[in-house]
Structures are given as structure tokens and as C-alpha cells.
Amino acid sequence: MSQISTPSTAADSGGFDPHEIQRKWQALWAERDPFRAGDDADARPRKYVLAMFPYPSGDLHMGHAENYLYSDIVARFWRHRGYNVLHPIGWDSFGLPAENAAIQRGADPVEWTYGNIAQQKQSLHDYGVSFDWNRVLHTSDPEYYRWNQWLFLKLYERGLAYRKESPVNWCPFDQTVLANEQVVDGRCERCGNEVVKKKLTQWFLKITDYADRLLDDLNQLEGFWPQKVIQMQRNWIGRSVGADIEFEIEGREGTVTVFSTRPDTLYGATFFVVAPDSDLAAELVAGASAEARVRFQDYLDRVQKTTDIDRQSTDRPKTGVFLERYAINPVNGERLPIWAADYVLADYGHGAVMAVPAHDQRDLDFARAFDLPVRVVVDTTAPVTGAIPVIDLDEDGVPIDPVGDALDDLDPVRTGVALTGEGRMINSGPLDGLSKRNAIARVIDLLAAKGLGRAAKTYRLRDWLISRQRFWGTPIPMIHTEDGRTVPVPEEQLPVQLPSVDGLDLSPKGASPLGAAASWVHTTDPESGASARRDPDTMDTFVDSSWYFLRFLSPGDESQPFVGREADKWGPVDFYIGGVEHAILHLLYARFVTKALFDMGMVEFTEPFSNLINQGMVILGGSKMSKSKGNLVLFQEELDAHGADALRVALAFAGPVEDDKDWDDVSTTGAAKFLARALRVASDVDSDPDVVWAEGDAALRRVTHRLLADAPGLVEQTKFNVVVARLMELVNATRKAIDSGAGAADPAVREAAEATAMILDLFAPHTAEEMWQILGYEPFVGLTTWRSPDPTLLVEDSVTAVVQVDGKVRGTLEVPARIDAAELEALARADAKVQRALGDREIVRAVVRPPKVVSFATK
């Protein structure tokens, strides 16, 4: 941690003051606006580079330092490749922290938010990020959130926004509804208190309508998004394929639907389980004995305190109560006792399952706990492919040896292990002998013929609950009329603006504080003109960030959320950069909204982010930085201490983009010294810009041109740390050339210094601009196109290697000086002369010393 509190002095930075250089260039950037995205007249090809926008809760931290460094590297890189780059910034400025600050400290959320934004803006300016500052947006501005409301109304028109009563995660402390992902280990992500379930009427967006497309389109992103993120999205959507099966229940009209991924095992169902907290459980137990009703109620009380995660955990003892009712198996008419058990979830599938204990572990655990029958219907010892074996069954339908013997060893009741593998159907009437796949197809046919089942899919993905009972968010633009209708606010009345916070009690009460703003809530029914009430809820802030990348394209437009032509020009985002903590929700919601806008004909693409770059975390001493642990490294303090460039270089050099970086290993002092060396090289150059290229120190020229050749590929592969290392190598080689052989007047020295400035601009833009000016050029190095490498300088030096067989030289090879052992050995073995010398003798030993010697010993 030594470097944290040691400000760079003129001495350790080699006599230059980074802050002075920084101020100078920032002033010029502000004046000339070189990073403004080009307009229609700009003929260059376009790239849209976007970093996830910050939330204005206090100062920026080192995670932001990393995030905006990386997006800046990418943005600057594409400018150097000759592209017209859009690199905007804005603020995700609605949300709970502002409101909590208001409650705790009496701060006005508006002042708190915009005060923090001002400070963060200053830090990002100081950091030298090449944003197009003309497009700044804040999601808490009415000019922005009016389009959230517009989006909501469009989704509502298309049946994609609806209201329903549903059990929600409720934080009793924050008095608010939480999304599933805001519940961590059964606790509120924000305050750490236990989360409970509560029923509320809420607004939802119907993301499940898009589940298949959200899943299938991930295939297009393979290779462009981190594999880990694609997998997390797949798991989150969680598509299961199987069948819906209808079960009648004795003494009850109609059927109950069950989803199963293994309809082939229907003959093995021995009981039936419903979620205790489902409406069905309550209905069924109403027809049971008084005793059962009491037992059920006790059980339900306990279950309601258990989280879904615990309920799904496999190593928990199984619990449940018998409801004294029976379901009828649709294929064989068997009576299946109905239990309520918490391992069945109310809001997955249909909240009820057919239990097949022989082939499902949860069902088996339950059967063993309550002594329920187990029937094997898949012979997992039988071959799955090839001829169908003949299975002899005794009159009870039990297979006769030899299959039986093998199966006995696997008896699930005894072993406690369900037979989940593939095999051949047994004990299953018309399905006997079939493989799983064929049995599934057959049983679906059988059920369909009776109208009692069909192929079906289920998803883990739930509809997106967007209602929040909080003040600091976008008001939901709906009106509740006196006669009980819910109608949209007419579009021309948007935005529905938040009232002033004055006089409002924001402390959490379980209902939105907006409901208490009497004059705000009161409105008129747009159809009849009668008195009506506004919906008091506000939107989840993930709505705001689900489409903000489109607003950047025409931020000032007052007539529409974004200009379609601009979206066609710039969209989708070419590079999206941010933390992996947004791997699931934010990206999923943005993908959903993009697809919905595509369906409305408003954009021409179906995926919002073509490439995704995830950064690792900046940690300290092996653990996450946190205020409470007192191990916070503050961004602004680091900036003040070392200057932007040293901080940027140190972070870029600290390791691969996706890795976590320990601040203890980040050397701003080392970076400052490197920058001072680079600057000194530029000052030492003793030739004019018009020197003849293609002359001078050949060794130095090779280093320069190899970097010019490799840098684009390295940046595109996000190997930023390697580029920094290569720049260090080039600066050292230039120094050596100046001090030893060629001298400061050698054209190769100028060439190296210029290449350094151009590439260094990605990491240390202030220093790079300063170098460029010292080298005799007009600003801005940030707008130069990188030079192309001279191919003749990229040819690798070659050497002659000798190949010996049993001590005699049998061949020579021209090989690259940097060849490795495996390559050299392979070339030696393949050489015609060597092969002739070997004849049919076998090589027993090979000694390889790259690049010059290979020696084979034979038998």
C-alpha cells in the first residue's frame, strides 16, 4: 500500500509535473472537442464504444477507474484505426441510495444525486477519458424518463406489460419489493435483513414471451461475449423441455396440470406432490380431515419462512404433509396419494409434480422419508443403442433375470440413489422396451390422443417485476379510475413528473410515498374526465438502463426516444464494457427491450451489444474493497496523487482485463517512471519531422515495426497489459539507441518516439499529446492514424540448425531464430535427408536445443 499516499514529485517523475501536462491538454480538449463523434458528413466507418454508465452514489471507485480506462483504450484505438467513434457517458441516476440518503440525512434526492454527478463528471474529466461530452444524459431527468414511460406504454399496448397479484420478495426493513437477484442467501442485498414473501399487486413486463429468442440468440454471441456470461444467461433462462400432463383428482372437477421433463416415466409415478404455498394445496386440504388441515397450516407457516434457494437444496431432509386426497394417473388409472412438500415450488412449472421416486432423486428422498412405494420403470443396465432386448416379465410386471439381477444391485430404495441414467423402459405397458427418447414421443402421443397431455417447455425465467414502492424512480404512467379500470396516461401528457419531495414522508411504509402526495396522485380519467388516481409505483431502474444506449444517439430529441436513422447508423453497440456483476439482469433486460423494439419496427437489430468485454475487480490485499473494512482506495485521491496517466498505465499493466487486480500489485510509481522515460526520449530526439524514413538503426526499427504490426491485434484481443509491456520495451530500446550507437539524430529514433506517442495515447493520452507536440506536431496525437508496419522489417532473423543422427550430421535447416523446441524437432523429423538417414530405424531419444541443434539417437 506504500504507493497510495506518496504523491508523485517532480523528482520521481523525472522532472515533469503530470498535473501540469494534464491541465494543459484537458483545457485544449475542452476547447477543441476532438472526441466529438462525427456527423453525417463524416465519411469514416463507425464504431460505437460504450462503458456501462455509473450510478452516482458518492465518489467513483477503482472499479470505475478500470472500466472507463478500458472503454477509453478501445475508443481511442478505433480512432487510430481511422474510425468515427461514438464514446458517450451518462448517469444511471435513479435508485434507492439517493432515497436512503434522503431518509437518513434529510438530503433532497435531487440535490444529492446531481451533486454526486457533478463530482463524478469532474473525476472523469481529470482522468482524461475521451468521451463525447455533448451527449451526456441522466436517467433522472424528466427529458429522459419520459421515454421510459413511453416505452412502458408501448409494451403495454403490445400486451407486454400487465398487472397481477403475486407473491413477491419483501424486505421488511427497506419496506420494498426486491427482484430475485436482489435477494442474496435469503437476505436483502442492500440492508442484509431477512427477506419474506408477501402478496402485492404489481406491474410486470412479459419477458417470458421472449424466452426462446433470448436463449436461441445467445448462439450468435458465441465468441463475441465471454463464454461465462453466455452460460450464466442460458442458466438464468433455464429452458426445460418435456410434457404437460393432466391429472384428475378424486372428488374434484377438472384436471391439474403437471410439467415433467421425464414423461416417459409416467408409469413409475407412485405419488403426487403440490407446492404447500399454491392455491391448489389450499383448495385440496380444505376437503381433508380437521387434523390434516391443522398439520398443513403448521407446515405452511414454516415453509413461508424458507427461501426458494433452501427449498431447492438437495441435502436438506425432506418434509411434507399428506393431504388425504388422490390423483389419478392418466395412463393406468392408479390412485396416487397427494402430498404437500416444500421441494415443489409454487411458481415453477405448474406448482405440482408427478413423483417418480425410482428415477428422480428428490422424489426418492421423499419416498424414503415417508415410506412411499418406489417402482423402477427404466432398466438402466440395458444397452441404450442397438437391438431392443427382449425383457421377460413375471406376472407382477417385474423383470425376470438376467436383467433383474443386475437391477437388484441398483435398487434405489436400498442404495438411496435414483436411477437417472438412460436405459430401456420396463413396467410401462405400451412403452416397454423403448428408449427414453422414443418413450417420451410415444407417451406424449398416447396422452394427446386422450386430450390429457402435450409436449411443453418450461423456463426458470420469470416475468420482470418492475413495480417499486419508492419515490426516486420513473412514475408508472397508468391511471386507476373510480370505476375500477386501469388506463394508460395519454402519450401527449408525458412525462408524468415526480412531485417535489417537500412535505413528503419518504420513510418506507410498504406503499409508495407517491401515494401520499395528494395533489400529485389526483388526476382525471382521460376518457370520462371523472376524478381518478395515478399509479403510485415507480419503475425498477433496470428499465432506465435497458435502452439508454439508444438515447445517446440523439440525446436532445424532444419528439421521440431515439432517431431511427441514428440507430441504423450506429447500432448495435460494437463494444460494451463493464463488470461481470451485470452479466445476467441488465444484459438480459437490454436484450429483451431491443427485441421488443425490433418487433415494433424501431430498430433493425435484435441484439444490443455485439461484443462484450468484462473486467475483473480491483481488490485490495486479496479481498473486495469496502468502506466498512476500511480498505477503500479512492479514485480521486489516486488521481490527485499520481496524475491520470500514471494511474491509467499502472491499471492497464496490472494484468489481463478479465482478471481481478490486487491494488497491492499496482505500481503507479513504476508507471510514472516509465512515462517520464518516454517523455525524455521525445525531448532527446534530434531530427526534424521531415527526416527520411526507412533509414537508421535497423535493430530499433525492427522493435518499432514489430509493435506497429502487433498492437492492433493485441488491442482487439484486449491484451492491453501486453501492449504496455511492449511500449516499455520500445522506450528502452530507443533509449539504448540514443545513448549508445545511433544517437539522437538517427531517424530510427524519431520513428520509434513517434510510434510510442501514437500507441501510448491509448493508455497515457496527456503524456502522448505532450510527446507529440515536443516532436514538432500539431495536436492531436489522439486523432492520428497509426502507421503501417514495413513488412521487410518483420521478417524474422533466421539461423541454421544442424540435425544429427547417432552423432553424425545428417541435415541442416534454415529456421526462425525464435523457434521453439517442439517446432524444431518436428521440422527435423520431417526433413527428407534426415528421414533417409534414419531408414527404418526407430528414434529412441531426441535432444533438442533450439534454435541450433537436434540430435536423434536410434535403436
Q: What is the contact surface with ligand ANZ in residues (CB under 6 A)? A: 240, 259-262, 265, 275, 344-345, 348-349, 351, 353-354, 356, 359-360, 458
3-state helix/strand/coil string of 2-48: HHHHCCCCCCCCCCCCHHHHHHHHHHHHHHHCCCCCCCCCCCCCEEE
| Alpha-carbon span 519 to 538, nearest angstrom | 17
End-to-end CA distance of the chain: 61
Dig out the grid coordinates for 152 from the structure: 412502458
122 phi and psi angles, rounded to 5 deg: -60, -45
Per the listing, cell 526507412 goes with 694
Dig out the grid coordinates for 832 from the structure: 527428407
| Alpha-carbon span 45 to 83, nearest angstrom | 5
Pairing mode, strands 453-459 and 239-249 = antiparallel
**For the sheet containing 486-488, what is the strand order?**
486-488, 478-481, 531-534, 522-524
Per the listing, cell 458528413 goes with 41
- On the 0-12 / 13-18 / 19+ scale of CB atoms within 10 A, 210 is buried
| Alpha-carbon span 475 to 534, nearest angstrom | 9
| Alpha-carbon span 64 to 52, nearest angstrom | 9
Q: Is the dihedral of CA 390, 395, 398, 402 positive or negative?
A: negative
| Alpha-carbon span 516 to 500, nearest angstrom | 12
| Alpha-carbon span 699 to 703, nearest angstrom | 7
Q: Which value, to the nearest 10 degrees, does the dihedral of the CA atoms of residues 462, 90, 95, 571 take?
A: -10
The total number of residues written for the chain in this structure? 859
Element (H, E) at 737: helix 720-739
Question: Helix, strand or coil for residue 797?
Answer: coil
Task: List beta partners, residue 324.
Answer: none
Question: Helix, strand or coil for residue 602?
Answer: coil
Residue 667, CB-side half-sphere exposure with 13 Å CA sphere: 9
